[in-house]
Structure 1
Amino acid sequence: MAQVDPPRSGRSDNSLAWEYYDTPAGREADIVNVVRCRIVPAPKADDVPGKIVACFRPSRAIQSIADETAVLYSQLLWNQLSNSDDYSLPDLQQCDLFSYLDAETTEDVIFIYLQCEGWVVVPNSRKADTMSYEFLAINRETHARAIVQVKTGNTPLDRAHWSTFPETVFLFQAHGVYTGVPGHNVVQLSPETIRGFMEGHFDVMPQSVQRWIRFAQRRTSAQMP
């Protein structure tokens, strides 16, 4: 992680992070545009959510991440890795934990939950062009097939629509926004169930999820008399 620092004191443009070094050494190195940063390495690969990783793939070396959840998580991670309070974070106890997990991370949590419940997720089925559902799962014992749909934000899930499918259907709406009457094949996963699973199976959660859970627990402890 990198945080932009202001330029060295004594410069006339010290309100700007960008510095221009048109010097013989700078021209020789072909580096005349300088932005000073504090850099803190992320200790584990899953400390960085997939949505952020995707923004650093070729052909762009760097780009803006237009996602509020990713920004909040970056601030949380920076505070923890730099042992600072550089960023003011919201009171998570007054909010829904799932508000701070992006869509891909939420899918990962459901992926892990189903595997712990005896369903083997087919990795190849988890593709962007699988338009109607997120992924396919197979029960280890019965070999039954199931499809999974996950929604974050306030996008509702229509249980009646999924009742027309021949397979078992697992539905998860991160804020419990469901419509319609579910059929016998529809399994509705509640946010409370999944949050309890996340806390009870903390050690198998991605690092990015663990950090949010720890943050929430510390806030709770600090508020206790």
Structure 2
Amino acid sequence: MAFNVYKMRLKPGSADDDATPFKFCKEKEIVGVGHEIYMDRTYENVENVEEAHWEYEAEHYDPDNRSRFRQDGELDSDLRYILKEIEEGDYIWVNKENTFGLCKVTGDWEVLPNLPEEERDKYMKNDIQNFRYVDWAIIPYFAVPGFVRRQFSGRFGTIARIRKPINDTTRALIERLFEQDDYHRQDEFLWTEIQTYVEETPADELINLLGPTATEDLVLLYLQEQGWKLVGSSLSNTQAKIECEMYRGDELSYVQVKSGNASVNPSNFENYDGTVFLFVGDDLNLESYEHIHQIDPDDVMAYLHKNIEEAPHDVLSGVQDVVEYE
């Protein structure tokens, strides 16, 4: 059976100003999206629903609002996932600020017109009209894996499938998190187990497990071991191109750290007066830039292995999550 994991924002566009879609969905044990269809019909199969969306779109099309269909005629991603692609047994991560829910899909698609009329008002208020039944688990923030937090740090629309790093290790972690009843902070880290895991696990897989803050902390600590001193005031730099500035003697350097699938264009740094350190998942072609260097993840992980007890807690927690749930 396929193991699919999704991320979703519970913020339907037509919800009332005082609506609480996240809370409502948790209470009803559902996840869903908007897009009204004809309320005077019942829908027996997904083909009926898709046809009704087509009819409603043609009759009520508003160029100022996003179409529910793509240019190729397929349902837009939020409807397509809810109605057709998400399957029973799949997992869906949702969040509201620092509150994270992990939902396991328990049933097929459903639409609001199929519900009794007296139940519809609250669904309409929260603009939940196409939905799936799920079992909810609220995961405390400290227990949410870094790679999951990172998924919500960028733009992705309403729903998207998480493809990296979904593997046997993260699958076991997600399943155990969902089944866990109590989440206790660890007063002491599992030093030996963490060190062994860091030593035996490929660097790219480790980096994928960490959140953006943990990755940045680790890279900056690695550079400090190389003799570079952090300029604290530069951490609040408004230039989105760099994380911070660092000095080593009379040398100046600039650092940019990207995690996950985020990319960096080296040409953005060609006029920087100093050394530029880039940490990014993709291999960069830097032959024409003598002052720009890509940090090797293997070097950063080697640093972590040698200095495991000095690593920030968010780094250790990200690794221990996996160690505990393997």
Please tell me the TM-score bracket, short chain as reference: 0.5 to 0.7
From 64, 78, 82, the equivalent of 2:174 is 78
Is 2:105 the counterpart of 1:5? yes
Is 2:133 the counterpart of 1:36? yes
Of all paired residues, the percent bearing the same amino acid is 15
- 2:243 matched residue in structure 1: 135
* Counterpart-to-counterpart distance in 1, 2:301 and 2:172: 19
Q: 1:142-188 CA distances to partner (integer Å, 9 max, x unpaired)?
A: 58532124467697987xx97874323223354665542875x6665
Aligned counterparts, 1:61-76, within 5 A:
63-65=158-160, 68-69=163-164, 75=171
Distance 1:81 1:24, change over 3 A: same
Q: Which amino acid aligns with 1:120?
A: V
Partners of 1:172 and 1:190 within 8 A in 2: yes
Partners of 1:171 and 1:186 within 8 A in 2: yes
From 219, 232, 245, the equivalent of 1:110 is 219
Partners of 2:164 and 2:208 within 8 A in 1: yes
SS in 2 for 1:166: coil
* Counterpart-to-counterpart distance in 1, 2:282 and 2:295: 11
Task: Count matched residues.
Answer: 191
Partners of 1:169 and 1:187 within 8 A in 2: yes
- 1:193 matched residue in structure 2: 299
Q: Which amino acid aligns with 1:22?
A: L
Distance 1:197 1:120, change over 3 A: farther
Q: Which amino acid aligns with 1:81?
A: L
Q: 1:53-87 CA distances to partner (integer Å, 9 max, x unpaired)?
A: 4459xxx7xx1236532766985652231248xxx
* Counterpart-to-counterpart distance in 2, 1:111 and 1:125: 15
- Normalised to the residue count of structure 2, the TM-score between the two structures is 0.41
* Counterpart-to-counterpart distance in 2, 1:177 and 1:54: 22
* Counterpart-to-counterpart distance in 2, 1:100 and 1:94: 10
Q: Which amino acid aligns with 1:27?
A: R
- 1:124 matched residue in structure 2: 236
Higher relative contact order (CA 8 A, sep 6+): 2
**Rg larger for:** 2
SS in 2 for 1:69: coil
Aligned counterparts, 1:181-220, within 5 A:
183=290, 189-199=295-305, 200-201=307-308, 203-204=311-312, 206=314, 210-211=317-318, 215=322
Distance 1:180 1:157, change over 3 A: farther
Is 2:110 the counterpart of 1:18? yes
| Displacement after TM superposition at 1:26 (Å) | 0.7
Q: Which amino acid aligns with 2:164?
A: T
Partners of 1:70 and 1:102 within 8 A in 2: no
* Counterpart-to-counterpart distance in 2, 1:123 and 1:195: 23
Distance 1:17 1:182, change over 3 A: same
Give structure 1 stretches of 5+ with no counterpart. 8-15, 85-91, 220-225
Partners of 1:157 and 1:173 within 8 A in 2: no
